[in-house]
Structure 1
Amino acid sequence: MSSREIQHYIFQNGQFTFSDGATNEGMVISRYNISLARIEYYFIPDSNILAYRSARAQHDVHAHKSLGHLIDISKITSAQLIN
């Protein structure tokens, strides 16, 4: 997916299919990396979403690194929101 297409799915629970065929439920988040001057995208698996939200509420600015992993959004082939 392009950065424009993925914007509808940022910080939303969804089911994401990757180019390697893996389908995972979770949430894609975006973070700005100041030192590299770029936007990075992280995938937070469904099992870590509550912990991620709790950590963010407590101002843990590194929660995305400890509870998720860096992804290349061009490897996401499809996404579907989950209610």
Structure 2
Amino acid sequence: MGLILGLIIGGLAGWIAGNLMKGQGFGLLGNILVGLVGGFLGGVVFRLLGLAASGVIGSLIMSVIGAVLLIFIVGKIRRTKL
């Protein structure tokens, strides 16, 4: 059940972050991937700041923040390579 919940949270987080940053999502698999990597990144950032997220809502917020950071970083890298 934890894997399914993680995929659902990852998909939602990726979709929300895509809408916040570009105005569109990345497709189902793209949203899940961005949300899962963003969840990891958000967890690292939260731990560095001394914050903790608990529960489904906390995990979703942490994943969205991480996914937004991920999209921002990837966007900056793409712009510098062009």
TM-score (normalizing by structure 1): 0.29
TM-score (normalizing by structure 2): 0.29
Query: Which has the larger share of strand?
Result: 1
Query: Which has the larger share of helix?
Result: 2
Higher RCO (CA-CA < 8 Å; seq separation 6+): 1
